[in-house]
Amino acid sequence: MSDAIRPLIVGAGPAGIRAAQTLVNAGIRPVVIDEAPSSGGQIYRQRLVPDERSAKDLYGSEAAKAIALHGTFARICDRIDYLPETLVWNLRDKAVDVVTGQRTRRIAFSHLILATGATDRVLPFPGWTLPGVFTLGGSQIALKSQGCAIGEKVVFLGSGPLLYLVAWQYMKAGADVAAVLDTAPFSAKFHLLRGLFAQPSVVLRGFRFAAELMARGVAVHFGVQPVRIDGTTRVEGISWRERGKEHRLACDAVGYGFSLRSETQLADLAGCRNIFDARDRAWRPERDSAGRTSVSGVYIAGDGAGIAGADAAELAGERAGLALLDDAGLPVDHARIGVLERKLASIQKFRNVLESAFPFPESWVTSIADDVTLCRCEEIAVGDARAAVRDQGVSELNRLKALTRVGMGRCQGRMCASAAVEVLASACGRSPDAVGRLRAQPPIKPIPLAVAAEGEAA
């Protein structure tokens, strides 16, 4: 049986690694494809070369998990076919097209586990394209992987647990954190008390980050409405509104984000049915509690299937691996499945708490001016999208893309689609779920024209 199946896993982060481990333990040799040069995903990303920092320096309280995950991957590495620095750019008919450097080839699979993760959800505001503005995830990568702060004097802005985590990591690494600007009101944080029972360590850790930041003199502001990032050729400061008053702070870098958004392109190409996740304000592939999508033989795990964090990703990766084995007629440990599902359900409940504590800034869409760049690739303004609604009656996202080029550039909407949905929905008077979702098209990321095609791999 195990010879007959050839599973493919896309992504070597916590979900992908645990899925691969589960299959390897059952005697199956999966293909694991990842864009990064080494495993770990974004959260447990490894340095390109070792340096003087310890795992504790890099991953803080999550160091043990990082070490365990990297250790697992090292142990299974010779029992999987691992393709690092490889992009899956197309998916069709139980095969993927992948590009490694300047070579492309087609790899067939019997089963597919998508563990494609997430990127920061960003919302545009004046100055967001200036050099010195990075996403929260990008700020964290600069620090962990590259040992760099994004500037001499850094402001962190936005919402979500990552805001405090990254600010704290910067402070601990010796960076000058000028302020933390939380778009949620302080009162929203009381929701976290509800989470104390479900995930006490996570909640307490979050409080510790905030407390230590404040103890070290970092100004933490709540209920912030960003006005603009100042500067002409790079960041010079940030202005925001708080309790009706405008404030300004000089800084040379801003890290910001509003939680995360799933990378769903491959699930879309695979034909998976999508549902609107009201909590995440986004469409995501439909899946059952085991990670099965609507397409037989296609599974999804981790933040690519809705945002739930790294711990959930590990559990979901294992769960999807077990589902695959079960569906392939192989024996699985049903007690373990029960444990995994209970833990995942508990984390899901906790995510609802987090979303209340770090709510999406709903006022953004009404406050954002027409001249702000909405699509940073094609440089299309918020007002261009609103004009398409007003003048051409646009009420659907792909139509907006067709008529204005929003989401048509190099990033294929990764950086602008969340905001475009809000702008479109608000302008045409519909709810975010009613304006649809961008259909994925290959290549899901840019590929070289002169790419050399190789024969199909088994």
Binding residues among 421-440 for another protein as defined by CB under 8 A: 439
130 scored as a contact of another protein (CB under 8 A): yes
Strands 274-277 and 153-159: unpaired
- If the CB atoms of residues 223 and 442 are measured against another protein, the closer one turns out to be 442
Q: Using the structure block, give the residue that is written with the tokens 């791999």.
A: 457
Q: What token pair was written down for 72?
A: 């697992």
- If the CB atoms of residues 48 and 204 are measured against another protein, the closer one turns out to be 48
Q: What token pair was written down for 150?
A: 């994004």
Task: Give the three-state DSSP class for 145.
Answer: coil
Binding residues among 220-279 for another protein as defined by CB under 8 A: 233-234, 252-253, 263, 271
**Minimum distance, C-beta of residue 156 to another protein, in the bound complex (Å):** 15
336 scored as a contact of another protein (CB under 8 A): no
Residue in 412, 423, 424, 425 binding another protein, rule: CB under 8 A? 412
**Minimum distance, C-beta of residue 163 to another protein, in the bound complex (Å):** 16
Pattern 99-128, another protein, x by CB under 8 A: -----x-x------------xx--------
**Minimum distance, C-beta of residue 69 to another protein, in the bound complex (Å):** 18
- Measure CA 363 to chain center: 23
Write the single-letter amino acid at 82. Y
152 scored as a contact of another protein (CB under 8 A): yes
**Minimum distance, C-beta of residue 54 to another protein, in the bound complex (Å):** 11
Write the single-letter amino acid at 235. V
138 scored as a contact of another protein (CB under 8 A): yes
C-alpha span between 21 and 140 (Å, rounded):
27
Q: What token pair was written down for 342?
A: 């209970």
**Minimum distance, C-beta of residue 179 to another protein, in the bound complex (Å):** 17
Residue in 79, 228, 247, 445 binding another protein, rule: CB under 8 A? 445
C-alpha span between 274 and 282 (Å, rounded):
10
C-alpha span between 400 and 382 (Å, rounded):
12
Run of H or E residues at 401: helix 397-404
Residue in 343, 349, 376, 430 binding another protein, rule: CB under 8 A? 376
Strands 260-262 and 118-120: antiparallel
Measured between alpha carbons, how far is residue 322 from residues 19, 33, 296 in Å?
8, 19, 15
Residue in 27, 131, 185, 200 binding another protein, rule: CB under 8 A? 131
**Minimum distance, C-beta of residue 107 to another protein, in the bound complex (Å):** 11
- If the CB atoms of residues 321 and 409 are measured against another protein, the closer one turns out to be 409
**Minimum distance, C-beta of residue 402 to another protein, in the bound complex (Å):** 5
Calculate helix-pair angle for 161-172, 136-144, nearest 10 degrees. 30
- If the CB atoms of residues 373 and 426 are measured against another protein, the closer one turns out to be 373
Binding residues among 23-62 for another protein as defined by CB under 8 A: 35-37, 42, 47-49, 51-53, 57
Residue in 16, 151, 160, 321 binding another protein, rule: CB under 8 A? 151
Q: How many residues does the chain have?
A: 458
Q: What token pair was written down for 75?
A: 């142990």
- The burial of 81, by beta-carbon neighbours within 10 Å (0-12 exposed, 13-18 middle, 19 or more buried), is given as middle
- CB of 342 closer than 8 Å to CB of 198: no
175 scored as a contact of another protein (CB under 8 A): yes
204 scored as a contact of another protein (CB under 8 A): no
